[in-house]
Amino acid sequence: MATPSVNNKTSGGGTGSSTSFSHTVSSKANRLLFVVIAKQGTSRTVSSCTYGGNALTLLYRRDYSSGQAQLDVYVMIAPPSGSATVSVTLNGSVSHSVGAYDLYDANQSPGDFSFVDSAGVVTSISVNVGSTEEDLILCMAAKKYDDIPASNSGQTILIKEYNGSAYCLSDSKPGEGDGSTNIGYNSLGGRYMILAGVAVPYLQPSNSSGAIIF
């Protein structure tokens, strides 16, 4: 079965109040750009998240245990193809790590995206995301400290970025046809962590005349 595809992956971060890096978006149809932001330390909010100077839309945010783990997820629908700068500005200095990746052949209705999450001081963490065989499941996480986590079976690593004391993680996994797909991480060393998962449905591409391609 077909699912959305990942094109390009980039990341960056630091311990100040902003980060920027270049990212190249595919020219293929039905594109989405995700930016995943992990923060650790003082609770901070994202003042702006842009690509090529254009604002992304906040999809998810959680702050666990007063800043010990903070996770924000942004999306841009139909980002322009080619290279531009991902820029993230925070409302103050904090350890932060940022990952970006673009998808194609993806449903472009973020209002349909329903996140499932979990948080705690854990040695392993997982969630079950409702899915079909034509979904791509995205696994996104913020973790304190640099113990190297292991991805659960069947996941493809997209982002592993660590700066200061903030670890940003993201994986993908094809959706399973029984209605639910398990995602997560283990070997976490008993650290503060937030895990969020979401299913991105496949959208059949069309040719220039608008006809569906089979």
**Residue-wise pLDDT tens digits, 31-50:** 999 999 999 999 999 999 99
pLDDT at residue 161 in the model: 97
Q: What is the mean pLDDT of residues 13-19?
A: 98
Look at residue 134 and give its three-state secondary structure.
coil
Alpha-carbon distance 169 to 145, whole Å?
A: 12
Which whole-number Å values give the CA distances from 169 to 78, 140, 175, 179, in the listed order? 24, 6, 19, 24
At residue 77, what are phi and psi to the nearest 5 degrees?
-85, 135
Q: What is the mean pLDDT of residues 193-212?
A: 75
The residue among 120, 50, 58 whose CA lies nearest residue 79 is 50
Q: Where are the domains of the chain?
A: 5-201
**Residue-wise pLDDT tens digits, 64-90:** 999 999 999 999 999 999 999 999 999
Q: What is the mean pLDDT of residues 8-23?
A: 98
Note whether 24 and 85 are within 8 A (CB).
no
Q: What is the mean pLDDT of residues 48-64?
A: 98
pLDDT averaged over the chain?
A: 93
**Looking at the predicted structure, is the pLDDT value of residue 135 above 60?**
yes
Residue type, 210: G
Strands (E), the chain: 5-14, 18-25, 32-40, 46-51, 54-55, 57-64, 69-77, 82-90, 95-104, 116-130, 135-144, 150-151, 156-163, 166-174, 180-201
**Residue-wise pLDDT tens digits, 153-199:** 999 999 999 999 999 999 999 999 889 999 999 988 899 999 999 99
